[in-house]
Amino acid sequence: MHPELSPSLAPLPAPFWHRLNTFFAFPFQLRPLAYGIGLALCSLLYTVVLFLPAPIAIFLIELGILLAASRYGFKVTALGSRGISRSEDFPSQLDDEWTSLPWKLFAITIVQSFFTGWLAWVSPGLGTLGLFVMSFTLPATVIVLVQTCSFFSALNPAAIWDTMRIIGWPYALLCFFLFLLSTGAQVALMLVLPMVKGAVVLPIVNFALIYFGWVMASLLGYVMYQHHAAFDIDPLPGAGADEMAVDRRTPEQIAQQETDALVAQRVTEGDMPGALGIAYEEQRLRPEELAAQRRYHRVLLLAPDKVGTLLDHGRRFIGLLMRRDLPAEALKVYKACREKDDTFAPDDAPTTLALARSEWRGGDALGALALLRGFDKRFRGHDSIPQAYELAARALVQGLDRADLAKPILTTLEARYADSAEAKEVRWLLREKVT
């Protein structure tokens, strides 16, 4: 499809299990990290609240920390559901409806606990089942609460079931990850607390709980954003910005890739004249642009009736590549042209010699010799002829072990360029062969 006609569709958000690292990294963003550390350190305020007994002061301070951390967690989930997951993009003010969500969730938990307790009074088995259902549906309950901000909607079994249905089988995976995260703080504290003592214990406990709580909030928010269309949630401007790979292409690169796609489409459709026309015009308008010349060369290779054009363009393209110091690519173009016509050769001495050297460095002595065949006649009087002689002698002696064929080259060098460095080099190459 022509790039200009292709629909501009936003990519679907990746499944949440592909982005676990981003959820764990969220609390370490600058703003939540500073806020989390600040809240954790607030637990030390009981030491200055002298008008209350320490246990009561600790309880009240911890309740305040829990409320503040919960409010921020709901903010993370709510904004995450609208595609905002970078803390610097968060609005400074909290939505009035979100501020009451921690209390509503607490009330919902009380109601569900009473109902589960009643089931356990009726039958221990029913109580166990009720506890499992309460735990399993808690993520869906939170999602409904964030979406509607309604206490009664979050208690509605139909709304909870609809949420689980929208997420589908990954809901079970979501519950599993949330379970692991809920136990993560306990595991972390078991590892850290034996190594610390004194007043720092309480801030460490608080920070661990805050960290894993906000990771869970980030995860829930993204799951809602992943299904925002089904949940009828309108993403905010900039939604999903952290998912998008930064397009670092220049406008020229974008234009080149669009042209490549258009030419490829014409080739696929069998419209070779159309592909050739586009590629030709691009390289004509941009004679020094490598991308345009590469494209034209590739299309010419596919056109069996354009061998003459391919060879003519190949000579010019090889010259451009050599000027850009790309001998390896120039050699590939040369070989591609030779496959179409084994008499193909560059039309200037420096290019021919440079390609021959590339062949020799690549270990192809025969290829180097093929390029150098008749060099002195094709480029009569050129200053690089001694270098061509020396390279040919080296390919014969060191590449093919044919010193006998190199002796006439030495004779010619001594007759025409006796004092040249190339003559001395070939003389040294044949030092054990010359009698």
Residue 6 confidence (pLDDT)? 34
pLDDT at 179: 86
Q: What is the pLDDT of residues 342-385, one digit of tens each?
A: 888 888 899 889 888 888 888 888 988 888 888 888 888 888 88
Domain boundary among 344, 359, 392: 344
| pLDDT (0 to 100) of residue 80 | 83
Cβ–Cβ < 8 Å for 352, 368: no
The length of the chain, given as a count of residues = 435
Instruction: Record the tokens describing residue 214, joined without a space.
Output: 């906000």
Tell me what pLDDT residue 248 has: 54
Q: Which phi-psi region, left, alpha or beta, contains residue 94 (left: φ > 0; alpha: ψ -120 to 50)? A: beta
Q: What is the mean pLDDT of each run of 10 residues along the chain (435 residues)?
A: 35 75 86 88 78 80 85 85 78 65 86 88 86 87 86 86 87 87 79 75 84 87 84 69 54 81 88 90 89 92 91 92 88 90 88 88 87 88 89 88 86 85 86 61
| Tokens linked to 196 | 């610390």
- Which of these three, 323, 344, 365, is where a domain ends? 344
User: 253 and 320, same structural domain?
Assistant: yes
From residue 337, give the alpha-carbon distance in Å to each of 37, 63, 200, 279, 342: 68, 79, 75, 18, 8
From the number of C-beta atoms within 10 Å of its C-beta (0-12, 13-18, 19+), residue 76 rates as buried
Same domain, 36 and 135: yes
Is residue 8 included in any domain, yes or no?
no
Asked if 33 and 107 sit in the same domain, the reply is: yes
Beta strands in 24-182 (DSSP E): none
Q: Strand, coil or helix: what is 420? A: coil
Instruction: Give the distance from CA 318 to its chain's centroid.
Output: 34
| Tokens (6 digits) for 179 | 């379970």
Contacts of 208 (CB under 8 A, 6+ apart): 185, 188, 189, 192
What is residue 237's predicted lDDT score, i.e. its pLDDT? 62
Whether 312 and 191 share a structural domain: no
Residue 2 belongs to a domain: no
Nearest to 222 by CA among 55, 13, 423, 54: 13
pLDDT the model gives residue 134 = 87
Looking at the structure, tell me whether residues 292 and 414 fall in a common domain.
no
Q: Are residues 295 and 419 in the same domain?
A: no
Q: Check if the beta carbon of residue 85 is closer than 8 Å to that of residue 242.
A: yes
- Residue 113 has, within 13 A of its CA and on its CB side, a CA count of 6
Question: By the 8 A CB rule, do 356 and 368 touch?
Answer: yes
CATH of the domain at 378: 1.25.40.10
Provide the number of structural domains found in the chain. Answer: 3
Residue 56: how many CB atoms within 10 A of its CB?
11
193-208 pLDDT, tens digit per residue, is: 777 777 778 888 888 8
Residue type at 293?
A: Q
Computed from CA positions of residues 404, 410, 412, 414, in that sequence, does the dihedral angle turn out positive or negative? Answer: negative
User: What SS3 class is residue 8?
Assistant: coil
Copy the structure tokens of residue 312: 């003519």
For residue 389, the enclosing domain spans: 348-435
**Three-state SS at 85:** coil
The token pair at 337 is 């042209």
Cα 119 to Cα 51, 133, 154, distances in angstroms: 44, 12, 20
Q: Please write the tens of the pLDDT for every residue from 402-430.
A: 888 888 888 888 888 888 888 888 888 88
Helix 124-148 crosses helix 101-122 at what angle (to 10 degrees)? Answer: 160
pLDDT at position 5? 30
Q: From CA 295, how far away is CA 256, in angstroms rounded? A: 9
Give, for 308, the enclosing helix (H) or strand (E): helix 307-323
pLDDT confidence of residue 1: 36
Residue/partner pairs of 376-382 with CB below 8 Å, 24 or more apart: 378/345, 378/349, 378/352, 379/348, 379/349, 379/352, 382/349
Q: What are phi and psi of 27, to 5 degrees?
A: -65, -10
